[in-house]
Structure 1
Amino acid sequence: MKMLRTICALLILTAGTAAAQERHFTLQAPAALIENGFLRHLLPRFSLKTGIRITPGADPGNAAFGDEGIPVFRQGERVWHLSRTDGPYTEAFQDWLLSDIGKRTIESFATDGTNLFSTDVAVREVAVVAEITGDVAMGEEMSLKHCGRCHVVNETNRMNAIGSTPSFGLMRTFPDWEGRFLAFYALNPHPAFTQVAEVTEPFPENLPSPIAPLEVTLDEIDAIAAYVATIAPADLGAPVRSQ
């Protein structure tokens, strides 16, 4: 009987040990996250909270920090992602990283008083500014020649334009002014009387230009856009407010 009790106790102890060992998974992590002490800060706090042990290393594991998976934290301009196999322990780790306490743990890690990680993983948009390289002097000349028939270009033709058409200064206030000038020949009413060398088709024989055709090249259009870039947007004043 005593031996039977001993065997039962050993079986229970073995089962308990096996169960404890099962609450564990391996995490592949780059040397950069190991050597700076970040994982020594992060993983024990997760284990203390959940009872799940994680063994980090360079070899492939049940989960990995890298460039694939869901974004979990940022280090400078780099966003670290977590990829994982299906399972309750790796899922618990992912949920903890995305929780408030997990985020606070990530952001509290610091070296020499400097926090190295952030949980702001939103994609940062980089504004791309197009460089206008046309000939400004040519642009002013072409603007007065081709556009000055209808639009006020500058003081030179202020009294010779059509009053119902917007001035260059006014159009310079449009947020998409550059695109409008570079593709003006495709915007009404310009297609009816504009020919761009090697771009537009000739006018149909039954639909000739209603006025003297405006004939221009792509280089001249680039020059016009470069000139318009030098024009200060018109001061339209404050919006009208009703009393």
Structure 2
Amino acid sequence: MLKELLVCLAFAGSSAMAQDKSFTLQSPSALTDTGLLNHILPRFSLKTGIRITLSEDEGIAAFGPDGDPVFRQGDTIWHFRNSENDNTQAFYDWLTSDVGKRTVEGFTPDEGVPFSADVSVQVAAVVVALTGDAVLGEDVSLSRCGRCHVVNDSNRMNAIGSTPSFALMRSFSDWEGRFQTFYLLRPHAAFTQVKDVTDPFPDNLPSPIAPIEVTLDEIDAIVAYVGTIAPADLGGPIQSQ
């Protein structure tokens, strides 16, 4: 009798443990219908012994727009909403492991693009249209800036060698902002007047050199012209021996 009781208790304990190693996972039909979950869930269960039951309506964990990003298909990033549960945490850890990522990317859907474990947000580069008159910009650059900067080959011998050339400054990542606001940057603020923008020089602080006078339209033209200049080739980084 005692032996039978112990067997029953052992069976009940193992049954309870089996029930503990399972959870219900909510998944929208848009994801379920791809077939991805039929590919990855059996492999996860085989590895961990945790059984997952899919449900479209409810679950203690869920795939959807909220939670932690785990994989993408095209432009759609699927998130996993976890719960305070060891089994759901184990599933998340597996999904984000190298094995889980390879399993996701090893699935080929019947329709649509493949899945990817790369969930980084792709930021599109913003291209700003330069609307100024580039031809006017070259003329203004040579007449206003050419006494110090090498604007192009036509004034290469007349500029000050210690000032950066337009081609060099064009290689700066923030070149557009620099040219757009050059009159605020040292030393330009001391001798540059922008019509309807800057205040006149104080009587006790006159311009140290013949002042540069430009309009906002002329500045836009300068920026447009500089946008046509090829950035200076500064070469590759110096390699240590």
TM-score by length of 2: 0.83
State how 1:81-96 maps to structure 2 within 5 Å.
81-96=79-94
- Counterpart Cα distance in 1 of 2:15 and 2:237: 75
Any unmatched runs of 5+ in structure 2? Answer: none
What's the counterpart of residue 42 of structure 2?
44
Question: Once the two structures are superposed, what CA deviation does each residue of 1:196-236 show, in whole Å capped at 9, x if it has no partner?
Answer: 23433332332121122222222211110111122234466
- What is the letter of the counterpart of residue 181 of structure 2? A
Matched residue, 1:54: 52
The answer for the alignment partner of 1:130 in structure 2 is: 128
AA at the equivalent of 2:35: G
Cα distance change of structure 1 residues 23 and 158 upon mapping to structure 2, 3 Å threshold: closer
Amino acid at match of 1:66: G
Q: CA deviation at 1:241?
A: 9.7
Cα 1:234–1:70 change in 2 (3 A) is: closer
Percent identity, please.
63
Report if the CA contact (8 A) 1:108-1:115 is conserved. Answer: no
Aligned mate of 1:120, from 114, 118, 121: 118
Deviation at 1:63, TM superposition (A): 1.0
Distance 2:237 2:82 in 1: 55
| Bigger mean CA deviation after superposition, 190-199 or 107-116 | 107-116
In the alignment, what sits opposite 2:199? 201
Matches within 5 A, 1:221-232: 221-232=219-230
Q: 1:155 to 1:66 in 2, by over 3 A?
A: same
Name 1:76's counterpart in structure 2. Answer: 74
Identify the range of structure 1 (183-192 vs 199-208) with the bigger mean alpha-carbon deviation. 199-208
Amino acid at match of 1:96: W
**Cα distance in 1 between the residues matched to 2:113 and 2:123:** 23
User: Post-superposition shift, 1:91?
Assistant: 0.9
Q: Specify the SS of the correspondent of 1:110.
A: coil
TM-aligned CA distance change 1:232 to 1:93, over 3 Å = closer
Following the alignment from structure 1 to structure 2, what is the Cα–Cα distance between the partners of residues 72 and 154?
A: 52
Q: Tell me the SS of whatever aligns to 1:79.
A: strand
Deviation at 1:18, TM superposition (A): 4.3
| SS across alignment from 2:116 | coil
Aligned mates of 1:8, 1:145 — CA distance in 2: 101
Q: What are the residue-to-residue correspondences of 1:1-243 with 2, within 5 Å?
A: 16-111=14-109, 116-234=114-232
Structure 1 range deviating more: 161-170 or 138-147? 161-170
For 2:86 and 2:183, locate their aligned partners in 1 and report how far apart those are by CA, in whole Å: 61
**Alpha-carbon separation, structure 1, partners of 2:168 and 2:194:** 25
- Per-residue displacement from partner, 1:4-34 (whole Å, max 9, x unpaired)? 9888876765565444333221212121221
* CA contact 1:107–1:115 (8 Å) conserved in 2: no
For the structure 1 residues 222 and 109, does the alpha-carbon distance in structure 2 shift closer, same or farther, using more than 3 Å as the test? same
Cα RMSD after superposing both structures = 3.3
Q: Secondary structure at the match of 2:213?
A: strand
For residue 43 of structure 1, what is the amino acid of its counterpart? L
8 A contact 1:134–1:223 mirrored in 2: yes
Per the normalisation by structure 1, the TM-score is 0.82
Contact 1:107-1:119 within 8 A present in 2 as well: yes
1:127-158 deviation digits (Å, cap 9, x = unpaired): 22322121112212211221123223234444
Letter in 2 for 1:92: A
